[in-house]
Each structure stands twice: as structure tokens, then as C-alpha cells.
Amino acid sequence: MINILPDSVANQIAAGEVVDRPASAVKELLENALDAGATEIQLIIKDAGRSLIQVIDNGSGMSDSDARLCFERHATSKIKRAEDLFDIHTMGFRGEALASIAAVAQVEMKTRLHDEELGSQVIIEGSDVKEQNPCTCSPGTSIAVKNLFFNIPARRNFLKKDSIELSHIEEVFRRVALPNYNVAFSFHHNGKLLYDLKGGNFAQRIASIFGNNFSARLYHIEEQTEPVSLFGYVGKEEYVKKVRGEQYLFVNGRFIKHLGLSAAIEKAYNELIPERTYPSYFVLLSVDPSRIDINIHPTKTEVRFIDEHVIFAILRAATKKALGQFSLATELEFNPSPDLNFDPVPKGYTPPAPTVSINPNYNPFYNSGQHGSSTPSQKSIQSQLRNFWNDGSDSDGDDIGGGSGGDSDSDSDSAPAKMPSSGASSLPGEASRQTAHDDSYATTLNATQNPPFQYAARYVITTLKSGVVVIDQHRAHQRILYERLMARREAAQPSSQQLLFPVNCRFNSSDSELLAEITPDLQKLGFAIATLGQNTFVVTATPPDVHPDDIQPLLEQTLADHKSNMLQRHSDGDRSICLSLARHMAIPAGKVLKPQEMQQLIADLFSCQVPDQSPSGQRIMFIITEQDIAEKMR
Ligand code: ADP
Ligand code: MG
């Protein structure tokens, strides 16, 4: 027995496809406003969209009859014939959104054409038109969607908590606002202004959403070709993230997800960034609408391109060009690592010529007596390291430097070019540990070391008595920073550097809440952070190793890590924060180091408690012994 479903039921079912949560209603309403040619759009939300979603625009408005018709299914002014599907210049075209929204909410719309005196008000609940009256209102359209899913309790109960629904709405808002940078948008939630975006250019729009210093982290890309013209920004290598965060790809003004094209961008970074890190990007593609198919998915973030291969190649090439043109080569020549975490060597300072020296009483681990309580793993590392220097013999260091010949009284000269950065360890405990170790380490290293050199811009290679040691610079620095941060955390008075100019940082509202939550932990590590309201924070002090320009990205990345830790439920408070800070502050792979910087890195690494493992458990170094080499030579 076949029944034809009543419209209200059919609409409810169809609505499920289009409107599955408040954010999707927001998307449809914002897109309608853009399609109507609005230049100013206000979004007003209450209770994360549960009780109110309102969009007010100054677009074309609708006539009396359209005001009624627009809530019918398949009511659209945007296409007329099937062929039009291949020439879509609007965001919407299915004529389903308003019908779907009206099926699952109480909707109140006021709309007025620009050359009419009066507008039209329509009230519709669960597809039922309750009222239509002439009304006074400004030209354009205002649609208020109240009590979403009031008639589908199951759906309503499935909504996530407000902070999650709100972050979905924010993401939708960003995806719509980014490519429409010439349109002004505002966004209020529960009476609070979250975003106030003026019309401007793309870079300004990115900055006003993601924070002012954001554009300094991007390279510009642009390419005009036959199948595609593209324009936008890709992130500098040093600002990659552990999570795919700010990756925005748009086609003809529409946000899309496209694995192939995202891969095109990421592939351009290939060797430049550590594995499992992801660049940010904001790329606008324009493609002839007849060469794409946006019709394959109801919520339309997936798109098919006829010229996918060509577009892939062009996108990758354009990204590579941006990276090559403005990064590696130029940075090396003209901009010698300004943001290394080491302080610069003072002007006019010439590093002393390496001399050979011997400290006959030196034993790298047993001379200071400060680490008596080593853990088992530490012990094994220590004996391993001892072997590195001692050629496996268990003597207490007599033969360190043996064979290299030379005088033994040039201790001070032989210290690796000392950079003021070791003064960064201004902690009482840390300082004394360093003095206890410093000279002897320096001596030891110099005694046996050839000058370190860098390979593939990510490994520091040097020799020890027992072989050639290959050190992963990023992981090594992570370890060093992590131990410093952990020590600071335990100190009664964390050391910090006062900033000459306080730095303002802006975040989206969910990040702001999170930042407020972890502020006490950050304070323990030497940050001084205060909120200025409106999602803005001022930072007046940081731990010693942080460059002011890096503060905003560092905090963002820490928040991103914190979020993913919370999701995976393995956050362990301030330890994970130390871990995350260390990870993001550490010299990246791909950074070319000066000889002194390598020396310092090696010295600092070997004064760590666990020098051979990064804080997240990855291997930092390995040794190639003479025997290994001999075997290979066979
Ligand atoms: P679609 O956008 O796919 O055409 P919708 O259900 O979203 O379908 O909208 C139906 C129609 O209502 C649109 O085609 C448009 O003519 C009209 N409309 C919707 N929102 C607005 C608005 N904000 N301003 C002017 N017209 C609108
Ligand atoms: Mg629409």
C-alpha cells in the first residue's frame, strides 16, 4: 500500500539533508544574502543557534509574492533550465534551503524591495504559513529562525553542547566571510560582538579574522591561466601546524574540500617541513562554471573539476614558486635566520679558533654529582653516551681527547662560541647545573669534535670519539626547551622576559575561552597574559626563549594541541603545555644553522637529562661507529 507523504513530512525528511545543525542553517542564510547582492550582512545568534539564528542583509529583497514562494520546495530564482546547472554563478540553486528551514523551525521574515515603500512579513512554522502582512522595514531581507528543530525533539536532543555548535557556526561564518572580503559582516552571539569585519581586500579579511600579525606568516600566490586563475596566500614553512587547521580553498567564491587540490599545495612543501605538519593556506580559484560540477553533494563542499590534473599542477607550481621565491634561498642570503631561538652573537665578535684541550678528570655524567637520582633509562643513556666519548672503555674519562694531542690549558678558549642565550637559563637550579657542566662539556666536545656541520638543513653532524653522531636539530632543541620549561614550572618564581612592547593577540571566541582556561598554566611557565575582552589578549612577558613575533602563532599552536589532547583525553595539564610549547618553539627542520648555533645546540643537548629522546619519545640521535663504516666498506 503506497502512500504519498504529506508535504510537511516530505519537507521534514528533505530538511534533514540540508539542515542538520544550526551551522548549516547559518550557511544557507548567509549564502542567500550574498546571492541577493548584499554588501552588509549581520548574523545574530542566541544559544549557539538553538533559540535564534537571524541574518539581516541589505540585498535585493523580495516582492510580496516571492516572499511567500521562497518557502516552497524547489522554489528558486537562480536557475530555470537543466542547462543552467552548468553555468552557476550563485551560491544556491536548489531552492531547498528556505523550505527545509521553515519545515523544522519557527521562521519570521521581513523583506522589502529597494523601490517599494512597504515590505512584506511572513511567519511560517513547521511549513505552515501563519501570517503574511505588509510591514515597514528597511530594504533587504531579515530572516529570524527561532527554536530550530522545535518539532523534531530527536534532532534537537542530538545537538552538541553550545561551545561545539558555536564553533561549527564560526567555521561556517569564516568560510563564507573569507572569499567575500568586499562584503561587511558582523556576528553577535548572545549579545556579544564576536566578529566585526569591514569590507576590504583578501589579506585584510584574513587578518581581521585570524589576527593582525597573521599576514606576516603568509606568502602571496597568484597565477592566471586558461583553465584556472588563482589568488591567495600560503603559510610560511616555519608556521606549519600539527593539525590541519587554517586550510581554506575556494572555487568561484565557494568553500570546497578537495583532497586532490589540498595535496597539490601540501606537496609543494614536501621536504621543507617536518612530517605530519600542515601548512595554512587561503586560496581562491576561479574556474569556468561549465568546467566544474558542484552538484554531487547536498551540502556542496565537494566539487569535481574537468581539468583536475591541470589545476593540480598549476596550484602546486604556484605554491612552489611562492616558497622558492621568498623562502629558502633568499632567506639564507639576505635574512640570516632572524628568528632563531638563540640570541645573536654580538657584533664584531669573532668566534675563537678551535683549539684542542684535554680535561683528564672529566667524566660527562659523574662529575657534578647532581644527578645522583637518575632513572634507569637515564642511566642507560648516560652509559651509552659515556661510551660515545670513551670508546666503550669504562675508564673515567682519561682518554677523552686522547689521540688528538694538544695542550690542556686552553680551557676557556676552547669553549664553543658562547652565546648569551645560555644566560636565558636564569633559574637558580638550572644556572648552577650549567656552570657545573658548561666548561667541561665544552672541553669534551671540542676535544673530540670536528666542527659540526649540517646536512639537509635538518641534521647536525659531528664526531665523538666513538663515531659520527647524527642529531635531529628539531627534536634536540625540543628536548632542550622542554627541560628548561619543566624546570621553570617547578621554580617558585618562573623566569620570564618582560617585553619592551606588549603584544596583542586575537583569537576566535572558542580559542579565547580555552586560552583563559590555560592561562594559569602559562603563567607558571613565565608568560604574563591578561585579557582585554573581545577575544583580545595582551602578553607582557614570556619565557626567555620566545621571540615577540612568535607569540601569537605559538599560543595558537598550543591551543590547537590542547584541543586535540582534550579530544583524545590524554591531556596531562601543564606537562602537555610544556611539551607543546617546546615543540613549536624548537628550531624547525629546514632551518640553516650557524656553526656557533650548532655548537650551542650540541652543548645544551648533552646537558639535558635525557639527551637521546625527544619529549614525545622520538629518537634524537644515533651514532655511526668506525666499525659500522668498516662493515659497509666490505
Ligand atoms: P536557492 O538559494 O537554492 O535558490 P533558497 O531556498 O535558499 O534556494 O532560496 C529560495 C529563493 O528565495 C532564492 O532563489 C531567492 O530568490 C529567494 N531568497 C532567499 N533568501 C533571500 C534573501 N536574503 N534576499 C533575497 N532573496 C532571497
Ligand atoms: Mg539558498
pLDDT tens digits for range 21-37: 999 999 999 999 999 99
For the Cβ of 422 lying below 6 angstroms from any atom of ligand 1, the answer is: no
pLDDT at residue number 461? 94
Give the ligand at the shortest distance from the Cα of 96.
Answer: 1
Nearest CA to ligand 1 atom 17: 70
Residue 37 Cα, ligand 1 centroid: separation in angstroms?
11
Residue 26 Cα, ligand 2 centroid: separation in angstroms?
11
Distance CA 583, CA 481 (A): 8
With a CB cutoff of 8 Å and minimum separation 6, the contacts of 481 are: 341, 545, 581, 582, 585, 586
Distance CA 229, CA 244 (A): 24
The architecture (CATH level 2) of 493-585 comes to: 2-Layer Sandwich (3.30)
For the Cβ of 152 lying below 6 angstroms from any atom of ligand 1, the answer is: no
Give the ligand at the shortest distance from the Cα of 36.
Answer: 1
The 3-state DSSP class for residue 84 equals helix
pLDDT at residue number 9? 76
For the Cβ of 122 lying below 6 angstroms from any atom of ligand 1, the answer is: no
Q: What radius of gyration do the chain's Cα atoms show?
A: 31
**Residue 92: all three cell numbers together:** 544556491
Residue 83 Cα, ligand 2 centroid: separation in angstroms?
19
pLDDT at residue number 353? 53
| pLDDT, tens digit (0-9, with 9 covering 90-100), for 351-383 | 555 444 444 444 444 433 333 333 444 444 444
Give the CATH class of 377-488+591-632. alpha beta
With a CB cutoff of 8 Å and minimum separation 6, the contacts of 328 are: 272, 590
Distances (CA, A) of 471 to 415, 422, 508, 594: 20, 20, 38, 15
Cβ atoms 440, 362 nearer than 8 A? yes
Grid cell 521553515 is found at 102
Distances (CA, A) of 131 to 121, 487, 547: 8, 68, 61
Mean of all residue pLDDT scores within the chain: 78
Q: What percent of the chain has pLDDT over 70?
A: 78
Residue 31 Cα, ligand 2 centroid: separation in angstroms?
6
The architecture (CATH level 2) of 7-200 comes to: 2-Layer Sandwich (3.30)
- Lowest average pLDDT, out of 247-256, 349-358, 373-382, 524-533, goes to 373-382
Cβ atoms 82, 226 nearer than 8 A? no
3-state secondary structure 392-445: CCCCCCCCCCCCCCCCCCCHHHHCCCCCHHHHHCCCHHHHHHHHHHHHHHHHHH
Residue 29 Cα, ligand 2 centroid: separation in angstroms?
7
| pLDDT, tens digit (0-9, with 9 covering 90-100), for 70-125 | 998 888 887 777 777 777 778 877 788 999 999 999 999 999 999 999 999 999 99
For the Cβ of 36 lying below 6 angstroms from any atom of ligand 1, the answer is: yes
pLDDT at residue number 295? 66
pLDDT at residue number 250? 96
Distance CA 418, CA 600 (A): 7
Q: Does domain 205-328 have CATH number 3.30.230.10?
A: yes
Mean pLDDT, range 290-311, rounded to an integer: 78
For the Cβ of 70 lying below 6 angstroms from any atom of ligand 1, the answer is: yes
537 class by beta-carbon count within 10 Å (0-12 exposed, 13-18 middle, 19+ buried): buried
Q: Where are the domains of the chain?
A: 7-200, 205-328, 377-488+591-632, 493-585
Residue 509 dihedral angles phi and psi, to the nearest 5°: -70, -30
Cβ atoms 249, 261 nearer than 8 A? yes
Pocket test for ligand 1, best of 18, 32, 54, 143 (most atoms within 8 A of CB): 32
Task: Give yes or no on whether 377-488+591-632 and 493-585 have one common fold.
Answer: no
Nearest CA to ligand 1 atom 14: 76
Ion ligand 2 residue ranges (Cβ < 5 Å):
32, 92, 97
| pLDDT, tens digit (0-9, with 9 covering 90-100), for 317-336 | 899 888 874 433 333 322 23
For the Cβ of 295 lying below 6 angstroms from any atom of ligand 1, the answer is: no
Name the helix (H) or strand (E) containing 12: helix 7-18
Answer yes or no: is pLDDT of 418 > 50: no
Q: What percent of the chain has pLDDT over 90?
A: 36
Answer yes or no: is pLDDT of 633 > 80: yes
For the Cβ of 280 lying below 6 angstroms from any atom of ligand 1, the answer is: no
**Residue 12: all three cell numbers together:** 521534514
